Amino acid sequence: MSRKKHPQAQQTAQAKPLLPDIHSPEDLKALSAEDIPALCREIRETLVHTVTNNGGHLASNLGVVELSVAMHRVFDCPKDHFIFDVGHQSYVHKLLTGRYEQFHTLRQGGGLSGFTKRSESVYDCFGAGHSSTSLSAALGFAQGDSLSGSDAYTLAVVGDGAFTGGMIHEALNNVSRHLRLIIIINENEMSISKNVGRFAKHMAKMRRHESYFKAKKTTARIIYHIPLVGNGIMRGLIKLKKSFKNAMYGSNYFEDMGLYYLGPADGNDYAAVERLLIEAKNQPESCVVHIKTRKGCGYDPAEKDPGFYHGMAPGGAPPKENFSLHLGQILTELGQKDEKICAITASMSEGTGLEAFHSACPKQFFDVGIAEEHALTFAAGLAADGFKPVTAIYSSFMQRAYDQIIHDIALQELPVLMCIDRAGLNAADGPTHHGMFDVAFLSQIPNVSLYTPVTFEGLSLSVKDALHKGRPAAIRYANGGENPQIIQAFYANGQPQDIGVRASYTSSDPLDGVIITHGRITAEALKATELAAEEGLRLGVLLCEYIKPYDRLASEVLPLLPDENIPILFAEEEIRAGGFGMMLSDSLTKISDFRTRPYGILAVDNSFVLQTKAEPIFKTAGVDAEAMLDRIKRMRS
């Protein structure tokens, strides 16, 4: 892969760029304090150039430039452990740890991951593609270091959004004061602390200065050394100070839990951040460092619209017509007519297309934060109370709520509709975001129907059918929109007004094989028919617009199958074990002699699908058109 030159990496008449010469944190520490502002500007230029081209998370990374630089100058990574929550705010960390030369490959096949990744660098101690996991992992490192006698520090950089996830609070409940653990709260959207009036702001500013910390230590040392009464006086002063602070700031959640608290500080003021980190490092106990950063800091468009620049498409393209937006439109139309319909998101209203519903039906819309488990049980409660809840959650996030789907929804047969966004393989975000497990885990759960539309009209029919039946159901669809090739092959005469099985052939067509599939990968199956035709073979494709209940699907598929000697291939972009191919072939066997005919299953086989080359994701996973044709040819031989 050819290396793209960063514009900021070129020699200028004003000064030699700093970032290209930073190959490790040691190079960063060798810089003078006067170099830091220029370095931060270079980092921001690199972020803007790369992310606007490759796509990814820009606003949050622009906000943590000073923090990331300060962390690497004050601490000793990789001996000290840095854990980012979520890992998509680690781009600056990557630039400072020997990955500048590869940074142009960010989120590309065979390139750098958009998240922290243990196999990518020794500086990435823990992979984090989903939110609210950092503190639990950090506790594991800190406790492990304590048990082994290591003097290493563990730093968890926690975005304030992560605090809407329950795992953070579970981990906070388990923090021991004796650990060398530093929890950095990066507040950039919602306020955690309560600051009221000029005096409170002055106090916060004063608490950031080095003189404050020195005076505090000196005072404590003097009082503790007063014979007989020193300890008692100090306890009384601490109690008085806390009461005074609570009156000015409001009760501090972290100090109430017994954690030493530093801040808040301006997270984009390098000197202030460095002072707080040095003070945290000098503490003999676990502590919290609270900073406030500006999303998009230093890049005017991102500061004005941090939402748009949070997760960008390659080239900075605006959102296109897609299944997510159409879901929002469908639910808006239905919700305005039926006040029982409610929409629930786990902090992803824009990503799942629910902003339209939010605007049109605000009382029927609920954003529960990064709490998928809560979202599903909350939906179950609404359903039990006579409402019609619809949850819209990414496939890889839905995994977190597996227990809730079983116990709270399916077991009680409550009519919750789960819309599973980003289903299937997702190349840019990589293995943490591949939506390839939902078919298998939903296939194992009784009472849950599963729809797989490939058109916007099919999505509408699926939503209406599921709501009408009033039973647990899920609808899965990929990121993106309709595929013209699929529409031409199966819907040239218009979309049927029911959900079923569509064939690309007629009963009189002579066939050399049939591919049975569902969802986006149908386009690869159609491509396989074209490749086969070049070799004189004729293949047909069966498209399933729903896949569960499997017994009903099998009864629809069986009459469409050709002569029993013709090979049948089940093709899917999901995990093989317990998935579509295994379940449907088993259901066909129950109602026919299907086992006697040649058939095979092409799916992701016991792999997380790591893209190590610059190639299409279906090829990497071994489920592309060429693989389909090859498998059928082998079955024929």
Share of the chain above pLDDT 90, in %: 69
Whether residue 231 is predicted with pLDDT greater than 70 in this model: the reply is no
CA distance 583 to 595: 13
Whether residue 530 is predicted with pLDDT greater than 70 in this model: the reply is yes
Q: Which of 18-22, 167-171, 193-197, 592-596 has the lowest mean pLDDT?
A: 193-197
Find how far residue 152's CA is from the centre of its chain: 29
In this predicted structure, what is the pLDDT of residue 309? 76
Instruction: State the CB neighbour count (10 A cutoff) for residue 314.
Output: 14
Q: What is the mean pLDDT of residues 578-588?
A: 97
pLDDT tens-place string over residues 290-337:
999 988 898 888 888 877 777 777 776 666 789 999 999 999 999 999
What is the dotted CATH code of the domain comprising 7-193+259-304? Answer: 3.40.50.970
CA distance 196 to 250: 9
* Nearest CA among 628, 615, 527 for reference residue 572: 628
In this predicted structure, what is the pLDDT of residue 243? 52
pLDDT tens-place string over residues 34-55:
999 999 999 999 999 999 999 8
CA distance 520 to 422: 11
Radius of gyration, CA atoms only, the chain: 28
Residue 590 tokens read as 């129950």
Distances (CA, A) of 263 to 185, 186, 205: 10, 11, 8
Listed in sequence order, the residues at least 6 apart from 510 whose beta carbon sits closer than 8 Å to its beta carbon are 538
Rounded to the nearest 10 degrees, what angle do helices 550-557 and 580-591 cross at? 70
Distances (CA, A) of 82 to 90, 182, 260: 10, 10, 19
CA distance 591 to 50: 55
Whether residue 271 is predicted with pLDDT greater than 80 in this model: the reply is yes
Find how far residue 604's CA is from the centre of its chain: 21
Peptide bond just before 196 cis, omega within 30 deg: no
In this predicted structure, what is the pLDDT of residue 223? 59
Cβ(490)–Cβ(527) below 8 Å: no
Cβ(86)–Cβ(130) below 8 Å: yes
Q: What are residue 125's phi and psi, to 5 degrees? A: -80, -20
In this predicted structure, what is the pLDDT of residue 189? 60
Mean pLDDT of all residues in the chain? 88
Residue 160 tokens read as 């304030």
Whether residue 245 is predicted with pLDDT greater than 60 in this model: the reply is no
Angle among Cα 531, 532, 533 to the nearest 5 degrees reads 90
**DSSP assigned state of 629:** H
Share of the chain above pLDDT 70, in %: 87
Could you give the 3-state DSSP secondary structure of residue 515? strand
Q: Which of 200-204, 258-262, 281-285, 334-338 has the lowest mean pLDDT?
A: 200-204
Beta strands 181-187 and 388-394, pairing class: unpaired
Q: What is the mean pLDDT of residues 2-25?
A: 67
Q: What is the mean pLDDT of residues 502-528?
A: 95
Distances (CA, A) of 528 to 149, 532, 627: 59, 6, 8
In this predicted structure, what is the pLDDT of residue 199? 31
Ranked by mean pLDDT, the top range of 215-229, 292-306, 339-353 is: 339-353
Listed in sequence order, the residues at least 6 apart from 502 whose beta carbon sits closer than 8 Å to its beta carbon are 490, 491, 496, 542, 543, 545
What is the residue extent of each domain of the chain? 7-193+259-304, 205-251, 323-476, 500-636
Beta strands 341-345 and 260-266, pairing class: unpaired
Whether residue 216 is predicted with pLDDT greater than 80 in this model: the reply is no
CA distance 567 to 503: 16
pLDDT tens-place string over residues 183-197:
999 987 643 333 334
Q: Which sequence positions are flagged as catalytic?
A: 295, 372, 400
In this predicted structure, what is the pLDDT of residue 166? 86
Confidence of residue 238 (pLDDT cuts 50, 70, 90): low
In this predicted structure, what is the pLDDT of residue 10? 45
Cβ(74)–Cβ(274) below 8 Å: yes
Whether residue 14 is predicted with pLDDT greater than 90 in this model: the reply is no
**Considering all CA atoms of the chain, what is the largest pairwise distance in Å, rounded to the nearest integer?**
102
In this predicted structure, what is the pLDDT of residue 237? 56
In this predicted structure, what is the pLDDT of residue 15? 78
Confidence of residue 1 (pLDDT cuts 50, 70, 90): very low
Fold of 500-636: Rossmann fold (3.40.50)
* Nearest CA among 455, 563, 547, 568 for reference residue 500: 547
Identify which has the larger pLDDT, 310 or 353: 353
Q: Which of 9-18, 46-55, 398-407, 428-437 has the lowest mean pLDDT?
A: 9-18
Q: Would you state the torsion angle of the CA atoms of residues 434, 310, 70, 12, taken in this order, to the nearest 10 degrees?
A: 110
CA distance 50 to 44: 10
In this predicted structure, what is the pLDDT of residue 197? 41
CA distance 327 to 347: 16
Whether residue 128 is predicted with pLDDT greater than 90 in this model: the reply is no
In this predicted structure, what is the pLDDT of residue 11? 43
Whether residue 200 is predicted with pLDDT greater than 60 in this model: the reply is no
Could you give the 3-state DSSP secondary structure of residue 240? helix
pLDDT tens-place string over residues 65-90:
999 999 999 999 999 999 998 888 99
Beta strands in 422-554 (DSSP E): 449-451, 473-476, 501-503, 513-517, 539-544, 546-548
Given this structure, which CATH class describes domain 323-476?
A: alpha beta
In which residue are the tokens 């030369």 written? 101
Q: What is the value of pTM for the model shown?
A: 0.84
Q: Return left, alpha or beta for 399; rule: phi > 0 is left, psi -120 to 50 is alpha, else beta.
A: alpha
pLDDT tens-place string over residues 355-384:
999 999 999 999 999 999 999 999 999 999
CA distance 294 to 296: 6
CA distance 487 to 506: 17
Whether residue 5 is predicted with pLDDT greater than 90 in this model: the reply is no
Whether residue 473 is predicted with pLDDT greater than 80 in this model: the reply is yes
Q: Which amino acid is at 609?
A: V
Beta strands 417-421 and 501-503, pairing class: unpaired
